[in-house]
């Protein structure tokens, strides 16, 4: 009966390891949360407690912030106000999050519709 018990324990441990590996193997991603009043993004699936550099780029400005991912690999970064010269109806910006271990995610903002001038 003991060998059967060890087999069950070993199978459960293997299943837990595979499940944990699947969670870690998800690709890092960025989600644009808001652009008013400030530009905010959420990062997901980075390594636990990893330092991540988040860079905001437009054709006229660029700025970066360092954040630390949580134990679950997520973070929220506030990148400040849009540049005064940025036109949200015509402008485009890119945000890149690059972890210290090489993880990377990119999100790009492109306004598709704006109200007609009036």
Is the separation of the CB atoms in 43 and 29 below 8 Å?
yes
The larger pLDDT score, comparing residue 89 to residue 109, is at: 109
Task: Enter the CATH code of domain 27-110.
Answer: 2.60.40.1940
> In the predicted model, is pLDDT for residue 77 greater than 90?
yes
Domain boundaries, the chain: 27-110
What is the spatial distance between Cα 76 and Cα 21, in angstroms, rounded to a whole number? 24
**What is the model's pTM?**
0.74
Length of the chain: 118
Asked if the model's pLDDT at residue 39 lies above 50, the reply is yes
Average pLDDT along the chain? 82
């Amino acid at each position: 009966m003991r060998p059967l018990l060890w087999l069950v324990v070993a199978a459960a441990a293997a299943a837990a390891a595979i499940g944990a590996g699947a969670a870690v193997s998800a690709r890092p991603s960025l989600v644009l949360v808001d652009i008013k009043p400030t530009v905010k993004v959420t990062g997901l699936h980075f390594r636990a407690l990893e330092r991540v550099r988040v860079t905001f780029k437009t054709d006229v400005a660029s700025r970066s912030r360092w954040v630390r991912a949580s134990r679950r690999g997520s973070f929220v970064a506030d990148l400040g106000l849009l540049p005064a010269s940025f036109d949200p109806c015509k402008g485009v910006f890119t945000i890149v999050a690059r972890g210290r271990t090489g993880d990377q995610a990119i999100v790009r903002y492109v306004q598709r519709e704006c109200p007609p001038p009036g």
